[in-house]
A = this chain, B = another copy of it.
Amino acid sequence: MRLHGYHRSTAAWRVRIALGLKGLSAEPVAVHLRNGEQRSEAFLRLNPQGLVPALELDDGIVLTQSLAICEYLEEIHPDPPLLPRDPVGRARVRAFSLAIAADIHPVQNLKVLNRLRALGHGEEQVNAWARTVIAEGLAACQALLQGERAGPFCFGDQPGLADICLVPQLFNARRFGVDLTPLPRLLAAEAACLTLPAFAAAAPERQPDSE
């Protein structure tokens, strides 16, 4: 498998963690988002959305969208699981994951921030937009965990899809200067994750394209 990604893309990072947790590996292929490589003809043939990640399987089939890829990895390689077994538990983990992957990240990604710049907003306003979106979104995520099992991970004593979404989003939160002190439950889950090799190895600064 080849994982087309970018070291700082939080969506590609999710897939790196999932692969690591599953004990799978994929050859990394860097798509330099800052240079616009995601809009090249070659890359658009792989993924018409012009987004990373894209997971190229050994038979040439290309899978896109980080959550769809994680669900695929879960189906072909169920152990260790990224989702609980019971339908309600699965729905709650997926909802938390979507609260990040659909309601925070796409509203603060490079594409949207560039749209704001094109409307004439300076870096201060652009960063304030990202900061607000992330702070409000993560506060809701922490509230979604009320009543869930104690941890240390988002949903109990094993890391899963929710943690895979959380850790990269907290990195973005810090990048934009979000105050994380009101989010102790999320920080505790992150701390538990960062002790695990799969999370450590997936970090942006550990990727070959980070230099």
Contact = CB atoms under 8 A, between A and B. Distances in A.
Interface in A53-102: 57, 61, 63-65, 67-69, 71-72, 75-76, 87-88, 90-92, 94-95, 97-99, 101-102
Contacts of A117: none
A21 interface: no
Interface stretch (A26-34, A44-52, A150-158): A44-52
Contacts of A63: 88, 91-92, 95
A102 B101 contact: yes
Contact of A103 (B51, B57, B90, B115): B51
Contacts of A95: 63-65, 68
A48 B98 contact: no
29 contacts: A48-B140, A48-B144, A48-B146, A49-B140, A51-B103, A57-B88, A63-B88, A63-B91, A63-B95, A65-B98, A65-B99, A65-B102, A67-B94, A67-B98, A68-B91, A68-B92, A68-B97, A68-B98, A71-B91, A72-B87, A75-B87, A75-B90, A98-B101, A102-B106, A107-B107, A107-B112, A115-B132, A119-B119, A119-B129
Interface of A: 44, 48-51, 57, 61, 63-65, 67-69, 71-72, 75-76, 87-88, 90-92, 94-95, 97-99, 101-103, 105-107, 112, 115, 119, 121, 125, 129, 132-133, 140, 143-144, 146
